Amino acid sequence: MSGHDSKYFSTTKKGEIPELKEELNSQYKDKRKDAVKKVIAAMTVGKDVSSLFTDVVNCMQTENLELKKLVYLYLINYAKSQPDLAILAVNTFVKDSQDPNPLIRALAVRTMGCIRVDKITEYLCDPLQRCLKDDDPYVRKTAAICVAKLFDINAELVEDRGFLDSLKDLISDNNPMVVANAVAALAEIQESSARPIFEITTSTLSKLLTALNECTEWGQVFILDALSRYKAADAREAENIVERVTPRLQHANCAVVLSAVKMILQQMELITSTDVVRNLCKKMAPPLVTLLSAEPEIQYVALRNINLIVQRRPTILAHEIKVFFCKYNDPIYVKMEKLEIMIKLASDRNIDQVLLEFKEYATEVDVDFVRKAVRAIGRCAIKLERAAERCISVLLELIKIKVNYVVQEAIIVIKDIFRRYPNTYESIIATLCESLDTLDEPEAKASMIWIIGEYAERIDNADELLESFLESFPEEPAQVQLQLLTATVKLFLKKPTEGPQQMIQVVLNNATVETDNPDLRDRAYIYWRLLSTDPEAAKDVVLAEKPVISDDSNQIDPSLLDELLANIATLSSVYHKPPEAFVTRVRTTTQKTDIAEGSASPAGNVPTRQMTTAAASPPQSVPVPDLMGDLMGLDNSAIVPVDQPSTPSG
C-alpha cells in the first residue's frame, strides 16, 4: 500500500457519540435540550450512551424543568454503571432539593430515591429529611415514597436517621395524599422487615378513615389494604369501620372495590350480629356483579376473586347465579371460571336453571369447555343429593347424542356418582356398556373398567366386556392397566368360574413378567399372594366397602382460604396460591448476614439444606422491583436494570 492510500481510513464524519457530545456542550439552550432528547432516545432503544455521562450531568444546571427531568431520567439509568461519576450530580441534587419551585424539589427527591448507589446514599439523607417536613404536600408525599426506596438500599441508615418516625408522623398529615403515600411506604417497609414497624392504633385508625374519603383511587387502595390488616378490638368497632368503608363499594375503580370487599370480609369475621352480616352481604353483591360487565381481563380477575369469596360467604351471590351464565362471545378462560362459580352456587332452588345451562354448554363447539360442562353436571349431582337423579337423566341424554368426548366425560362423572350414591343408580349400567367401543381416553377407559369390576355380579357378560379390554393390556397406559388388574381380581372373586380363572392367570402373568411399571408389578404380586394363600382375606381386601366420596366444589384448605382472602385484589387471589409460592423476596439485611455466615464457616461444614436464596445468587445481580415508581408518575423505573437475572429459589 502506498502512502497516498491513508485517505481511505480517514472520514469527515465524526460519528453519533462525538456529535452528541458537541451538541451537549453547545452554548444554546435549545440545542442542548434537543441533544439530551437524542441521548434519551438512543438509551431507550438500547444503545450505550454512558460515555456521555459527564456532558449530560453538566446540563443539570438549568432552570428548564423539562430538560432537568430528561437529565434525571438519564441519571437513574446510568448511575449504577457509573457510580464514581454519579457523585458529580450530588451537589445539584442538594441544591435542587432547596429550590423555590416545589416541582423541582420533588423531582430531586424522587430521582435520589431511584439512584441505587451506596456511595451517594448518605449525601441524600439531609435533603430527604428536609423534604419530609416541606411546606408543600407534593414534596412531602414524594419524600414518603423515597424513604421506602432508601430502606431497600440501606435499612440501617433509615432507622439510624429516624426516617421511620418521620413517616409515622406523616400519617397525621392534613393532606390525604401524603397520608396515603406514608401508608404505602410503611407497608412496603413492613414487608421487607421481620419486626413490626407499621401497626395501626386507634388514633391512626380514625386518621386513615378520614383520609380515605379524600385521596385518589390508588391512595384509597393503599389505605384499604392497611386497614384490612387491622384487627378490631370488638364487634362494635368492626361495625364502625365497615360502615365508614362501605361507600367505597360504589367506586368506579375495580381495585378500590375489591380492596373494600377484602377489608369488609376481614372485619365481618368479628361481627356477631346476623342482621348486620346479612345486610353487608346484600351490599357487596351489586358491586361484584358490576365487575362482570367490564372487559374480559377484569372479568377474569373478578371471577377468580369471587371464586374465593363464595367459598367463605356463599350467601353474598346466592341469588345472582344468572350473571354467571356464559355468553356466546365470552373468552374460554372467562367461561371456565363462570362454570366453577356456578357449581359452587348451585342449590336445590336453582339446580333446574343450572342444568339447562350446562346441557346447552355440552353441545357447543369448544371441546375443553364441553368436557368441563359435562363434568360440572356430575359435580352438581355429587353436591346435591336431591338433584342427583335429574343430573343423571341429563347425562344419559348427552350420551345418546353419541359425541365421543361427551360420552367419555359422562362415563368419568357417572363413576363418581356411583361412588357417591352406592346401590342407587346402577340401572343405567346397561346404557353405559353400549358405548364401550368408542372409549379411547385413559381416564374414561379406567372409569368404565372400574364400573364393570365393581358391579360384575350384576352384569351378565362382565367377563366378555373385560376380555375385550385385556386384548390390548400391554399397550394400555398405567392408569388403565391398574384398573384392569383390580377389576379382573374383583370378577374372579365374585364369579370364580373357568373364564375369569383363565383371565386372572393372563393378567397376573402380564402384570408381573411383561411390565416395567413397579406400581403395577407390586400390586399384581400382592393380589397373587392373597389369592394363592387366603381367598377369603383377598375378598375382605379387594371387595371391602369404599368410603363415600364427598363434594369437591370447595376444595381449598380452610387455612389457605383465609390467607387467600387476606390477599384479595392481588396476584395471589388470581393464582389461588399464597404469595410466597410465586414471589421470592430477597432481603438486603438477610443477604449480608447469610454471606457473612457462609464465609465464617468452613466450606465442608455448610449444610446444603440451609443455603438461602441470598447465598445462591451474587448480591449485585438481585433485581430490585421498584414497586413505588408508578405511583408518583415515574413509570420509567418499574424495574431497576440488572446485569443478569437472579437464581430462582428452590
The amino acid occupying position 183 is V
- List the grid coordinates of 544: 371391602
Q: For position 7, what pLDDT does the model report?
A: 55
pLDDT on residue 2? 55
What integer pLDDT is reported at residue 182 of this predicted model? 92
**Contact between 480 and 450 (Cβ < 8 Å):** no
Which residues contact residue 579 at a Cβ distance below 8 angstroms, ignoring those fewer than 6 apart? 567, 570, 571, 572
Give me the pLDDT at residue 314, please.
Answer: 85
Q: Are 260 and 248 in contact (CB under 8 A)?
A: yes
pLDDT in tens, 203-216: 888 888 888 888 88
Three-point CA angle 197, 199, 202, nearest 5°: 155
Helices (H), 45-162: 53-58, 65-78, 83-86, 90-96, 102-114, 118-121, 125-132, 137-153, 155-160
Q: In terms of DSSP H, where are the helices of 192-253? A: 202-212, 217-228, 235-245
Quick check: 453 and 490 in contact, CB under 8 A?
Answer: yes
Query: Residue 498's pLDDT is what?
Result: 77
In this predicted structure, what is the pLDDT of residue 4?
64
Residues of the chain with pLDDT under 50: 10-12, 587-650
pLDDT at residue number 139: 92
Q: What is the per-residue pLDDT for 613?
A: 37
**What is the chain's alpha carbon radius of gyration, rounded to the nearest angstrom?**
34
Q: What is the pLDDT of residue 14?
A: 58
Query: How far is the C-alpha of 284 from the C-alpha of 235, rounded, in Å?
Result: 19
The predicted model scores a pTM of 0.76
SS3 for 365? coil
Three cell numbers written together for 555 = 376444595
Q: How far is CA 602 from CA 290, 598, 607, 615, 618, in A?
A: 61, 8, 11, 15, 19
Return the pLDDT at 585: 62
